[in-house]
Amino acid sequence: MQETQQNHGVIRRALRFTGSVQGVGFRWRAIHAANAVGATGWVRNDYDGAVSMEIQGTEEQIDQVILAIERGTYVIIENLSAKTIPVIEGERSFVARD
């Protein structure tokens, strides 16, 4: 099954953003950008002021979402950590989590 996913170019990344990322429309922008490019997953504010995200799609889709978030007027990403994690089969949307 893993080979099929790789053949289609679908990957899943766990991302963590720090900087000026809460209270600046980050999650809203992430949801709209992910939906626009067809990526799936979730985004949430963390207790320590960071934002966590799991996003699934092609490398290009994921890059497009991150670029759209960075274009936010008040968003300042100081650090981004990324880790590739297993794809979730059947996931169909990108949502905000509490």
Nearest residue to 75 (alpha-carbon basis) of 65, 85, 87: 65
Annotation marks residue 45 as catalytic: yes
Which of 27, 35, 79, 92 is catalytic? The answer is 27
Which of 45, 79, 92, 97 is catalytic? The answer is 45
Largest CA distance in the chain: 41
Annotation marks residue 13 as catalytic: no
Cβ within 8 Å of residue 66, ≥6 positions away: 15, 80
Catalytic residue ranges: 27, 45
